[in-house]
Amino acid sequence: MGQSERKQRFEEIYRAHYPALLGYVRRRTDSADDAADVLAEAFMTAWRRLEDVPPDEETRLWLYGVARRVLANHHRDTGRRGALALKLRAELASWSEAAVEQDPSAVRTAFGRLSPADRELLSLVGWEGLGASEIAKVVGRPPSVVRLRLHRARKRLAKELNSAELDLSVYGSRAVSLAKGES
């Protein structure tokens, strides 16, 4: 099948089955945006697998099957995101409670006193969870240079935190090890 025949067949399938597939998907999603995402993925699959799309009335049923699988993936992903959001909220709440026991702005102030380059390196480690070799790719420097700069940034942060007389143990072992320059 040539490219123009392929395009023509897909357009015919799209025009003939879009309304039915939209109704199917819309009844099974919570928002118009979710329906649009699922519908786009279903038709993208139809385009990629156009040779597998059966003719006539079987086309609609095949598209329903594709949309059903896309919906299952969508709902599974939504569930994962919801669970992750709940876990993150709980973690942030416990950190917030720990910070209330101290001056919560003291950590931000100590972090803010660092140079932008130090803050970026420490953020990539602490918030993004990257290692030195990964950070090297992000910032476009050799890993050995990044390790040295990261070591120095940690030392400067530890100095700032010590001068603020903060008890880092309330933030957990990860914060203590980061402040001490341990990976």
CB burial string 3-34: b at 16+ within 10 A, e below = eeeeeebeeebeeebeeebbebbeebbeeeeb
pLDDT of residue 166: 63
Contact between 130 and 157 under an 8 Å Cβ cutoff? The reply is no
What DSSP state is assigned to residue 2?
-
pLDDT of 183: 46
Confidence (pLDDT) at 22:
94
Give CA–CA dist 120/135, Å, rounded.
10
Kindly give, in sequence order, each residue whose CB lies less than 8 Å from that of residue 172, ignoring residues fewer than 6 positions away: 95
pLDDT (0 to 100) of residue 158? 83
Fold of 3-86: Rna Polymerase Sigma Factor; Chain: A (1.10.1740)
> What is the mean pLDDT of the segment spanning 39-68?
93
The residue count of the chain comes to: 183
| CATH topology (fold) of 101-180 | Arc Repressor Mutant, subunit A (1.10.10)
pTM higher than 0.75, yes or no?
A: no
The C-alpha R_g of the chain, in whole angstroms, comes to 26
Q: What is the mean pLDDT of the chain?
A: 82
> Which pLDDT score is estimated for 45?
95
Domain boundaries, the chain: 3-86, 101-180
Cβ neighbours for 175, distance < 8 A, ≥ 6 positions apart: 168
pLDDT in tens, 105-159: 777 788 888 998 898 888 888 877 788 888 888 888 898 999 999 999 988 888 8
pLDDT of residue 100 exceeding 70: no
Q: What confidence score (pLDDT) does residue 125 get?
A: 84
C-alpha separations of 29 from 32, 65, 75, 78, 86 in Å: 8, 16, 9, 11, 21
Mean local confidence (pLDDT), 74-82: 80
**19: pLDDT confidence band, cut at 50, 70 and 90?**
very high
